[in-house]
Amino acid sequence: MLLTAYLLAIGSALLYGAADFLGGLASRRASTVVVVVIAQAAGLLPLVLLLPLLSGSPSAADLQWSVAAGVAGSVGVGLLYRALAIGTMSIVAPTTAVCAVVLPVAVDAAGGERLAVMTWIGIGLAILAIVLVSQHDGPESPHTTVSGGLPPGLALAFASGVAIGLFFIALARTSPAAGLWPLLVARSVSVVLFSMLAVAARQSMRASAAVARVAIACGVTDMVANALYLLAARGGPLSVVVTLASLYPASTVLLARLVIRERLSWTQSAGVACALTAVALIVGS
């Protein structure tokens, strides 16, 4: 049972990374808000079509946690994109990812979850991997200038990581009896919130067919990743599942290397190695 949960979490990490890669490609050609709205809506449609074939009866508590997950996830994504816009990615990305891991792990540990020593070593190595794969060895960006004691975007990155961590926690709190309904509720909340943002910003929703196709693929991939994470969180310790799911930067880095020929720095290569070692330690313990 635990092995299955861990494999599902690893699968979610691979797909989360792929979704981020696709979202990044689409965002190079269109407004981020447009890409996010299309992607969120695209992920919602196949879930709606599948629900009649899936069992599940969410309780009031399940619905409340689902709404909380939708709000937290929306806030996390919004803050993350803003932080990336004004800050340096090599600082913002690892900060957000590590915060998203640490919060659920701390909550699980406070709840009395007992894990093997090798599992804790694997979690520590996974957090190191997240930091390493998000680095680059290129010249510093002008955004790295420190202002007010913190690099630009760093405070938003911390807040984004906390919000994403809360998303992981809230989604994991839903019961297995709820089926995939929590994902439908959470994604519906996200679509509504981002659509309201687009309207408030008077953002045109026009996008080329090529951008729309990539954004749709991003949304569907992200939804499948969410489904795998939800199933994993119901079958294994939250601290381990979240750590494995948060290895997604490794997937993004590898796809960038294979598809658009971005070079891996030595730190990113070391991060991928750390990620693979962490997975072996956690799954084997």
**Per-residue pLDDT averaged across 12-20, rounded?**
87
Percentage of the residues of the chain whose pLDDT score is greater than 70: 86
User: Would you state the structure tokens that stand for residue 75, as one six-digit string?
Assistant: 């806030």
Least Cα distance to 72 among 100, 92, 101 occurs for 100
Is 144 domain-assigned?
no
Are the C-beta atoms of 230 and 171 separated by less than 8 Å?
A: yes
**Which of 32-46, 50-64, 130-144, 240-254 has the least mean pLDDT?**
130-144
Q: What is the pLDDT of residue 272?
A: 74
> Into how many domains does the chain fold?
1
For residue 97, report the phi and psi dihedrals to the nearest 5 degrees.
-65, -45
User: Over the stretch 178-198, which tens digit does the pLDDT of each residue have?
Assistant: 988 999 999 999 999 988 888
User: Does the pLDDT at position 26 exceed 80?
Assistant: yes
- Using the CB atoms, write b or e for 232-245: b if 16+ within 10 Å: bbbbbbbbbbbbbb
- Give tens-digit pLDDT for 69-93: 999 988 887 787 677 657 655 566 6
What span, in angstroms and rounded, lies between the C-alpha atoms of 256 and 263? 8
Range of the domain at 264: 2-138+149-284
- Domain-located, residue 143: no
Report yes or no: 243 and 13 within 8 Å, Cβ to Cβ. Answer: no
Specify if 57 maps to a domain.
Answer: yes
Instruction: In whole angstroms, give the CA distance from residue 285 to residue 273.
Output: 18
Handedness of CA 164, 165, 169, 170 (dihedral sign): negative
Instruction: Dump the DSSP string for 100-150.
Output: HHHHHHHHHHHTT----HHHHHHHHHHHHHHHHHT---SPPPGGG--BTTB
One-letter amino acid for residue 213 of the chain: R
Per the prediction, the chain carries an average pLDDT of 81
Per-residue pLDDT tens over the stretch 230-269? 999 988 888 889 888 888 777 877 787 788 776 767 887 7
Task: Please say whether the dihedral angle defined by the alpha carbons of residues 168, 188, 26 and 153, taken in this order, is positive or negative.
Answer: negative
Q: How far, in Å, CA of 161 to CA of 191, rounded?
A: 20
pLDDT at 144: 47
What is the predicted pLDDT for the residue at 124? 85
Residue 215 lies in a domain: yes
Q: Is the pTM of this model over 0.85?
A: no
At 204, give phi and psi (nearest 5°).
Answer: -65, 135
Q: Give the confidence band of 54 by pLDDT, cuts at 50, 70, 90.
A: low
- pLDDT tens track for 269-283: 787 788 778 877 776
183 found inside a domain: yes
